[in-house]
Structure 1
């Protein structure tokens, strides 16, 4: 009986890993479709997502922190910011008493494009989540937060170690 439970757990684990992998690939495809449709380089899209996530946390990024987050040099980060600012996707703001500190914010035109493109996806994901109880969503949240933390930690490890 113990072995049967273990094999069921292994089967479920394998299915979850496969679903996470499929979700990741599909999310990348959707991101690439947005980038192609709106003439945004994939690196620029990663920068936009980082800026958006930081804003949602209430902790807007500085150019230096953006570069660290997406793994770019200072010069490459400036080029990304300049492109995104010219296209209206991003804006620089000075919100600190120290006027040298620049924060990056999502630009209104960029938000409108993202809302138009990703809005239908949001409706679909809302419909999926509506089928779960609050307790189930709390469990899913705890699981995904743990998986995200594990992935982020591993990325930090391999980013610094070079080729395997």
Structure 2
């Protein structure tokens, strides 16, 4: 049977797709190593990442938004936050504008542990990025933003297509 020869573009797309998949798996393994080292389960880790991402965007997350993101019940979110706060990974603060609202922040102790663990990876990442000029980094950035958006859109579509089921406590 005749097999059409792939174009250079098709080869690149296939290689990039494989690289993204391997990167995702490797990143997940590094995250799980951090979690295991500090006695965190996958839900704890996802919560910490959500808190960190929200802070980096300058929009600290509320317990309600965290529950929505992690698909957890109110009681499960409370237990999760209590546990992470007790071990020093996060802290709760009242919103300065609306005192009824609670905002979650990465606690200093948790941030210190994360920095110590991820500092060598940060140095390696900086070394790689130093090999690219500003124009190349801009293209890579645009690519990553669009790929991340594509992945989140697919994730949301998969979630929406699932039959409604009660939230299961995790943690």
- TM-score of Structure 1 vs Structure 2, range by shorter chain: over 0.9
Partners of 1:23 and 1:91 lie apart in 2 by 31
* Number of residues of Structure 1 aligned to a counterpart in Structure 2: 160
Pairwise CA RMSD = 1.4
Equivalent positions of 1:109-120 (< 5 A) are 109-120=109-120
Q: Deviations over 1:77-134 (max 9, x none)?
A: 1111111000000000002332210000000000000000000000000000000000
Report the structure, 1 or 2, having the larger helix content: 1
What residue in structure 1 maps to residue 90 of structure 2?
90
- Find runs of 4+ consecutive structure 1 residues off by over 6 angstroms: none
Matches of 2:12 and 2:123, distance apart in 1 = 28
C-alpha distance after superposition, 1:4-44 (max 9, x if no partner) = 7x711111000000000000000000000000001011110
Task: For structure 1, list consecutive stretches of 5 or more residues without a partner in the other structure.
Answer: none
Q: Which residue of 2 aligns with 1:122?
A: 122
Deviations 1:25-80 (CA, angstroms, capped at 9, x unpaired): 00000000000001011110110011001001000000001111122221111111
For CA contacts below 8 A with separation 6 or more, give which structure has more relative contact order: 2
Matched, 1:48 2:48: yes
Structure 2's unaligned 5+ residue stretches are 164-171
In structure 2, C-alpha distance between the alignment counterparts of 1:30 and 1:159, rounded to whole Å: 26
TM-score if structure 1 supplies the norm length? 0.94
TM-score (norm 2): 0.90
